[in-house]
Amino acid sequence: MTAQQDSILIVDDTPANLRLLASILVNANYLVRPARDGKAALASAHSAPPDLILLDVMMPGMDGYEVCERLKADERTGDIPVIFISALDDIQDKVKSFAVGGVDYIPKPFHAEEVLARVKTHLTIRKLQQNLNEQIAELDAFAHTVAHDLKNPLALIVGFSDFLVDANDRISEEHRAEHLRKIQKAGNKAANIIDELLLLSTVRKQNINLSPLNMAAILLTAQDRLTYMIAEYQAEISVATNWPTAVGYAPWVEEIWVNYLSNGIKYGGNPPKLEIGGETLTDGRVRFWVKDNGLGIDPEDQKRLFAEFVRIGQTRIQGHGLGLSIVQRISQKLNGEVGVHSVLGEGSEFYFILPSAF
């Protein structure tokens, strides 16, 4: 997989300084966005938050201190590291830079080696912080899943097992078989939750190589895994005959299909009817989708649907809430994206987009 370039926003009202800084950073393989004043800097940072900001202190109108304060007050940009650059070398100016949220201070005239060293250091620190925050969030989510979602099927298994032990000689074979089926179903659910937790962790840690996908074969394997569920719900599935070629990692893409198909079957109509297909977009990427005939999803729920570990209202989307989190994480690792189009009363279309093989 190709590493994504770090994006750096440079803010300075002096064109010569902008050109020099841009040249230094572009030659070091950074993506550079210049801004000539505070207002332009805020607009640029809000429209597409950069990974780091180099910010001049002395600018007409809105100075660097005010720009930094506004950046830190906005949740969209509050965690972006800001390095101040200034001809001022007074200790009070440096103290104020840190007080308003800056992480470092480079005096003018600056030197390429120093600029690159400080930029690299703070980008590394930010990535380590982001990775740590992700791991903490994941641990919290795992604990919540074990404490709540995994507890339910295990409690059911224990409850019915205790009942069978205590009342084994007083119940009919029919009731005994019914209780055993419930134990089996709960056991399968618990095992599935554990498998998904392990997969979610693996996707974050594992590095893979992208290769062209035989999407027809991958989808067929996913359907085979859901054979029992398709039969239970009497689902009707319409599959495209022609597939554009995308690149990805087949085992993970199979998991996306399994999650989309199982959701479509569970929350589709009666019987559920699914349409599955793919197309090449105008930008060259490839889009795949599963469309169902269910009740649709409320617009507010759609906004949170792929947020990791978020559980949507029980009336529409139930379960342990890991499936779409896995889909989201897989798509990010494959340089793709996911989404949903849904209208209440008209069903939902869940999609994922991957890079093209061509």
Exposure string over 102-117, b if 16+ CB within 10 A, otherwise e: bbbbbeeebeeeebee
Given a contact cutoff of 8 angstroms between Cβ atoms, the answer to whether 284 and 356 are in contact is yes
Alpha helices in 28-111 (DSSP H): 38-47, 64-73, 91-99
> Do 344 and 215 fall into the same domain?
yes
Last residue of a domain, one of 160, 182, 205: 205
Strands 52-56 and 82-86: parallel
> Do 245 and 278 fall into the same domain?
yes
Does the pLDDT of residue 127 top 70, yes or no?
Answer: yes
Last residue of a domain, one of 178, 205, 232: 205
Q: How confident is the model at residue 141 (pLDDT cuts 50, 70, 90)?
A: low
Q: For 297-315, how does the pLDDT look when each residue is reduced to its tens digit (9 = 90+)?
A: 888 888 777 765 544 333 3
> Do 108 and 240 fall into the same domain?
no
Instruction: Look at residue 136 and tell me if it is in a domain.
Output: no
Tell me the C-alpha distance between 220 and 239, whole Å: 10
Global pTM reads: 0.60
> Do 156 and 282 fall into the same domain?
no
Arithmetic mean of pLDDT, 214-243: 94
Instruction: Look at residue 144 and tell me if it is in a domain.
Output: no
Instruction: Look at residue 293 and tell me if it is in a domain.
Output: yes
CA atoms within 13 A on the CB side of 97: 26
> Do 103 and 49 fall into the same domain?
yes
Query: How many of the other CB atoms lie within 10 Å of CB of 8?
Result: 23
Instruction: Look at residue 145 and tell me if it is in a domain.
Output: no
Given a contact cutoff of 8 angstroms between Cβ atoms, the answer to whether 346 and 296 are in contact is yes
The end-to-end CA distance of the chain, in Å, is 16
CATH number, domain containing residue 314: 3.30.565.10
Q: For 250-273, how does the pLDDT look when each residue is reduced to its tens digit (9 = 90+)?
A: 999 999 999 899 999 998 999 999
Q: For 28-56, how does the pLDDT look when each residue is reduced to its tens digit (9 = 90+)?
A: 999 999 999 999 999 999 999 999 999 99
Instruction: Look at residue 2 and tell me if it is in a domain.
Output: no
> Do 187 and 294 fall into the same domain?
no
Give the total number of structural domains in the chain. Answer: 3
Instruction: Look at residue 138 and tell me if it is in a domain.
Output: no
Given a contact cutoff of 8 angstroms between Cβ atoms, the answer to whether 33 and 7 are in contact is yes
> Do 185 and 273 fall into the same domain?
no
> Do 43 and 74 fall into the same domain?
yes
Last residue of a domain, one of 74, 100, 130: 130
Cis peptide preceding 49, ω within 30 of 0 = no
> Do 329 and 313 fall into the same domain?
yes
Assigned token pair, 336:
């793709």
> Do 52 and 170 fall into the same domain?
no
CATH number, domain containing residue 108: 3.40.50.2300
Strands 348-354 and 7-11: unpaired
Given a contact cutoff of 8 angstroms between Cβ atoms, the answer to whether 239 and 219 are in contact is yes
> Do 200 and 231 fall into the same domain?
no
> Do 243 and 300 fall into the same domain?
yes
Tell me the C-alpha distance between 270 and 293, whole Å: 9
Given a contact cutoff of 8 angstroms between Cβ atoms, the answer to whether 272 and 239 are in contact is no
Tell me the C-alpha distance between 214 and 246, whole Å: 8
Tell me the C-alpha distance between 260 and 239, whole Å: 14
Instruction: Look at residue 40 and tell me if it is in a domain.
Output: yes
Scanning the structure block, which residue is given the tokens 């090449």? Answer: 280
Tell me the C-alpha distance between 190 and 194, whole Å: 6
Q: How confident is the model at residue 114 (pLDDT cuts 50, 70, 90)?
A: very high
Q: For 314-353, how does the pLDDT look when each residue is reduced to its tens digit (9 = 90+)?
A: 333 443 356 787 888 888 889 999 999 999 989 999 999 9
Tell me the C-alpha distance between 328 and 107, whole Å: 42
Does the pLDDT of residue 122 top 60, yes or no?
Answer: yes
Domain extent, residue 176, equals 150-205
Instruction: Look at residue 83 and tell me if it is in a domain.
Output: yes
Specify the pLDDT at position 1: 44
